[in-house]
Structure 1
Amino acid sequence: MEESARLAPPQMVQGDPRALTLLDLNARFLPHEQFRQLVANIERDGCLTSTPLVWNDTDTGRLVVLSGNHRTLAAIEAGLTTIWWMQIDQPLPRQRQIALQLSHNAIAGQDDPAILKELYDELESVEWRQYTGLDDKALDLLEKVDVSALGEANLDFASVQLMFLPDELERAEAAFDAARAMASADQRWAAGLAQYEPVLDALETSRAAYKVGNSATALGVILAVFERHLGELAEGWFDDGSEAPRRGGTAPLETVFGVRGIPVDTAAAVRAAIDRLVKDGSVPEDEPWRALDILAAPRSQDQDV
């Protein structure tokens, strides 16, 4: 490397992050959940606690963020009107800009797992643990578990691939074919691209409500809430006003009773009653659910008295 390639020490500058120009092509990406955590941390601190690197392009008058694009964007979303950044004022060729950008992303230290876990364990508050942005994988909290004997054949698991596709048929089919070629899965589920953000928002809300950092745990919260509202799915086939079905076909029993199971004693009593109705010919043997028709039939005036 030539001597002329040395940089003059950057100066510390304070200004509005909205005046900075973010990179059009940034190799470093930040998952949605981590970005939301970054925004939350900045809102809590009221400032950036790590400094972006900015290049002053005097030819265009732009202040280009070479490193710290996500921090800058998060600061804007957090409502900060001023931040500090390191600014390089000397001319930089395109090659040097790219080299700086990639080096800041690629050259990073590694954590000692034992020390990392020891420090993390000192954090008693769930909020501060969430603040770190660390998850179970990073902390290696299961390092003492011997999984050497667990092979793929011994594990009961299923792989699901969820794809959010655009509305246009041709683009959707192309995206689906590409995803199918890249990864194998037991099942593939397709959803509208417009549903992508609501899904992430639902996960984020669940994480925030229960103070959890793990996406799988947040998904479990969403499923638990769903289970408590099974009865509301009856709107898909039942009209409350007319008390008549909205459509033909069948309806899940969960949406009738609002639960997936009933106590065994109750189930036994119902089963015995259905068997009696089948034996006396009141209910067809191949349609035992017809017993519910008898239960739901309007009573006569004599029975009401």
Structure 2
Amino acid sequence: MTEQQLARPVYVEGDPRDLTLLDVNARFMPHEQFRQLVDNIKRDGCLTSTPLVWNDAGQRIVLSGNHRVAASIEADLRRIGWLEITEPLPRQRQIALQLSHNAIVGQDDPAILKELYEELEAVEWRQYSGLDDKALDLLEKVDVAGLGEANLDFASVQIMFLPDELERAEAAFDAARSTASADQRWLAGLSQYEPTLDALETARAAYKIGNSATALGVILSVFERHLAELADGWFDAATGEPTRAGNAPVETVVGTRELPVETAAALRRAIDRLIADGSVPEAEPWRALDILAADPRPAETQ
């Protein structure tokens, strides 16, 4: 490798849609982080950091800042600025520039990062900072008084989004099972991946949340409020008849997993009376609901 200095890049402004993004980019960005980048650019109305572009005989190729350029397009910016290299670049130099911009970065001092982050009082500015769950976990570890893992009740759950093809799905699951340490593994279709991310993003945006785990808690809370709608899986509301055999979850009948203790006590007393008079088998107390739900009208009026 011989030393070769680049000519000084020039600052250029133009439409980001005129730039060519890399087909192969070692730098990846999670969906949520990209959405945050788009939101930040919309808020600022411009890019606040500068991409590096190579002008290859009129074709402007983004060597560094592909995600920023893509996000600026999605944010509907019509004009951005970038640094442009106009001299010929061998393929080796292009790759070296791309990798160096991705790899040579500073590192945060956790204590200072925590101090600065805690100065952000408004939730929207904390969200704007773009600190992800990994960085926030780092901030928590700075606090020596924090709870240790041994003091927490937790379970590690891994959700895998698999393709429809059986052989590829089985191979992916076997590979994950041999390497992952999750306590449980849940499988979902690959087609459900984007809707899942969209649901998390909607929950984050609605409540101004930066943490994905908290957003998932919001989604589960909304789900709990709509348990009764799951009755569609076994009940035809038009006919009042079940649509399948087997059992149905009780919460899809009453719309809640819990009852007020007064209601529960009254129901328990009614069941005990029916068991005592022999109307309901002791081993099947739930059959009391058949009696409680029986239509009291005479047969000819039903």
TM-score tier, shorter chain, comes to over 0.9
Match of 2:211 in 1: 214
- 1:251 equivalent to 2:256? Answer no
Match of 2:296 in 1: 299
> Which residue, 138, 150, 159 being the options, matches 1:162?
159
Report SS of the residue matched to 2:142.
Answer: coil
Partners in 2 of 1:104 and 1:228 — Cα distance?
A: 48
TM-score by length of 2: 0.93
Match of 1:2 in 2: 2
Amino acid at match of 1:33: E
TM-score by length of 1: 0.92
Q: CA deviation at 1:151?
A: 5.6
- 1:97 equivalent to 2:94? Answer yes
Q: CA deviation at 1:212?
A: 0.6
Equivalenced residue count is 298
Q: CA deviation at 1:25?
A: 1.4
Match of 1:55 in 2: 54
The 8 Å contact of residues 110 and 142 in structure 2, kept in 1 or not, is answered as: no
Q: CA deviation at 1:185?
A: 2.1
Amino acid at match of 1:126: V
Partners in 1 of 2:255 and 2:131 — Cα distance?
A: 38
The 8 Å contact of residues 199 and 219 in structure 2, kept in 1 or not, is answered as: yes
CA deviations over 1:24-48 (Å, ceiling 9, x no partner): 1111111111100000011111111
Q: After the TM superposition, which residues 69-218 of structure 1 pair with which residues of structure 2 at under 5 Å, given as runs?
A: 69-135=66-132, 137-139=134-136, 140-146=139-145, 150=148, 155-218=152-215
Partners in 2 of 1:137 and 1:168 — Cα distance?
A: 33
Match of 2:280 in 1: 283
Partners in 2 of 1:94 and 1:299 — Cα distance?
A: 85
Give the CA RMSD over aligned residues.
1.9
The 8 Å contact of residues 11 and 84 in structure 2, kept in 1 or not, is answered as: yes
The 8 Å contact of residues 50 and 65 in structure 2, kept in 1 or not, is answered as: yes
CA deviations over 1:1-29 (Å, ceiling 9, x no partner): 634x1011100111111111111111111
CA deviations over 1:80-99 (Å, ceiling 9, x no partner): 12211100011111111111
Partners in 1 of 2:297 and 2:72 — Cα distance?
A: 70
Partners in 2 of 1:178 and 1:100 — Cα distance?
A: 34
